Amino acid sequence: MFSYCADPDTLEGLRWLSCYLTTGKHLSFYWAFGTVLLLLAVTAPVALLFGFGGAVAARSRVAPLAWFGKGYIALVRGVPDIAFFLFFVIALDQGIEWLRHQAKCPDWDQPIRQGNDFVVCAEAKMPLSTSAQWVHEVYGFWLAVFTFAIVFGAFAANVLFGAMRAVPRAQIETGEAYGMTRAQIFRRILVPQMWVYALPGLSNLWMVLIKASPLLFLLGVEDIVYWARELGSTKTPQFTDYPHGDWRMWYFLFLLVFYLGFTRVSEIALDRLMRRLTHGQATLGGGAGRAGMTEAGPP
Amino acid sequence: MKTLILSSAVLALTAGAALAESHMQTVRLGTEGAYPPYNFLNDAGEVDGFEREVGDEVCARAELTCEWVTNDWDSIIPNLVSGNYDTIIAGMSITDERDEVIDFTQNYLPPAPSAYVAASEEVDVMGDVVAAQTTTIQAGHVADSGAALLEFATPEEAVAAVRNGEAEAVFADKDFLVPIVEASGGELVFVGEDVSLGNGIGIGLRESDGELRETLDAAIQSMKDDGSLNELILKWFGEDAQTF
């Protein structure tokens, strides 16, 4: 990185550290923080969308839709995350390739399953094996986003399902009295009011999601925990310009600080959101926001 | 006239090159990237080591375009058979158990000795707690030897277990352990006899990939015949290493 880094053996102290911390490997480590943050930024809204869909489906008066919603919630919540990640991603990947195979190679005469092997024609590979490595990485990233969204969507669906039921019946009745249709009540009364009941559950999910990012490596995405382990492990002089002992503790300490800082920032942001959402609502939190209500109580 | 001949010659050449390009098959090479000197990530974060050089040379001779991919050792075989990459070139010994699931080329490294490393000479490697990397031939050997086996996901963690006293000894490829023992400054020592396991190290492939296997086999054979493979072995494993 710097001009004086050409011969690291002669360096000492801060200069050595500045060279060490800017090797290509360390840049990959810093880059991985971006990957994790991007994953969280994309997964959270997608999972919320899945959750909303699941909750609405589970509440539906159309029986098959309700079964689907309830089945989704029960099934995904019941399967351990690691099993889901290992099984589902391989199955999803093979499913996509199987569909592409059916479409692109209709006159293929060999079986797709040959013993342990899963063999599709070269054109059906996803991504193509001739694609550059970054295409494979982007594909892996989106598989990860989709899998995370399905898993966390199921939990979010359960939270939202409960929140929708927690909205006081009187509020709905008022809407009915005004002659609103079911759709109008849902849109104008139920959804705006349910968030305050959903937020504690959703904020829990967000915290769990932040900490679940190391599962990424199961999906072949090189995340920060992978790089911390790789960079911290003992380096002998034959294979690196920067030999050192077992430094994993320091790298993991750095990760600890990162995760703690990140969850703290999230907590502050969620607190503010909670205050906004409860504003003016007839709950303890909402009442606190109304002038003169805290001490006097109801008139 | 001269320019015409020249330009047509150039055209023929470029067309030939383009044709060769389109015939080049892309092969994805899966490796672990955490097992020096076999394979490791260098300071730039690229795959490096003995297998990097062997793999690149094999690909050049077989006229394949090759792409290196790193994968956890734990799931390196499942990801091969489901098609995420086409070969495993990660210091994997050829054993009968693995041969039932995947195929191997001929070996590109003769059966290398495995060795025990401990913090002191007095350790009984047949009876104490011995660490090894999970699903390796070394782990299998420890389990059979009567010692209590402690498995780790990476060889690095297995060595660390000896340093912090969790295990009495670690059992791994000697070529992997030598640089670590040298760098430890006397803290770690070799104990007991070296053990020769497996049938050497080969490139792992899907059983359905017979054609690729023959191509790679021929390339390895040509490297054995002209001695270039031996040169690489001596370069990465030292003057005392076994050659073909």
Reported as a single tens digit per residue, the pLDDT across B67-124 is: 898 888 888 898 888 888 899 999 999 988 898 899 999 999 998 889 999 988 888 8
Report whether B114 contacts B195 (CB < 8 A).
yes
Q: Looking at beta carbons, which residues of chain B come within 8 Å of A120?
A: 83
CATH of A23-296, one of 3.20.20.70, 3.30.10.20, 1.10.3720.10, 1.25.40.10: 1.10.3720.10
Task: Express each pLDDT in B92-102 by its tens digit.
Answer: 999 888 988 99
At B12 the pLDDT is 47
Under 8 Å between Cβ of B65 and B170:
no
Contact A230, A247 (CB under 8 A): no
With 0-12 CB in 10 A as exposed, 13-18 as middle and 19+ as buried, what is A101? buried
CB A286 within 8 A of CB A199: no
Q: Which residue ranges form the domains of chain B, and what is each CATH number? A: 24-111+199-237 (3.40.190.10), 113-196 (3.40.190.10)
Put simply, whether the predicted model's pTM sits higher than 0.95 gets the answer no
Name the closest residue on chain A to residue B79, using Cα atoms: A90
Write out the residues of chain B at the interface with chain A, using a CB-CB cutoff of 8 A: 26-28, 33-34, 36-37, 40-46, 48-49, 65, 67, 69-72, 75, 78-79, 81-84, 86, 101-102, 154, 156, 159-160, 163, 179-180, 182-183, 206-208
Percent of chain B's residues with pLDDT above 70: 90
**Is A117's Cβ below 8 Å from some Cβ in B?**
yes
Domain ranges of chain A: 23-296
Cβ separation of B183 and A243 shorter than 8 Å? Answer: yes
pLDDT value at residue A285: 64
- C-alpha span between B79 and B86 (Å, rounded): 9
Q: A181: distance to nearest CA of chain B, Å?
A: 51
Which residues of chain A are modeled with pLDDT < 70? 1, 280, 282-299
User: Which residue of chain A comes nearest to B161, CA vs CA?
Assistant: A246
Q: Give residue-wise pLDDT tens across range A167-216.
A: 999 999 999 999 999 999 999 999 988 998 999 999 999 999 988 877 77
B134-181: pLDDT as tens digits: 989 899 899 888 888 999 988 888 998 998 889 999 999 988 998 889
**Could B83 and A25 be called an inter-chain contact, meaning their C-beta atoms sit closer than 8 Å?**
no
Contact A236 B183 (CB under 8 A): yes
| Tokens matching residue A230 | 């790789």
Residue B121 is classified by DSSP as: T
**Average pLDDT score over residue span B42-64:** 92
Q: Please tell me the predicted confidence (pLDDT) of residue A278.
A: 79
Nearest neighbour of B208 by CB, restricted to A114, A229, A243: A114
Tokens 């994790």 -> residue: A36
- Asked whether the predicted pLDDT for residue B1 surpasses 60, the reply is no
Query: Of A23, A116, A130, which to mutate for an interface test with B (greatest number of B Cβ within 10 Å)?
Result: A116
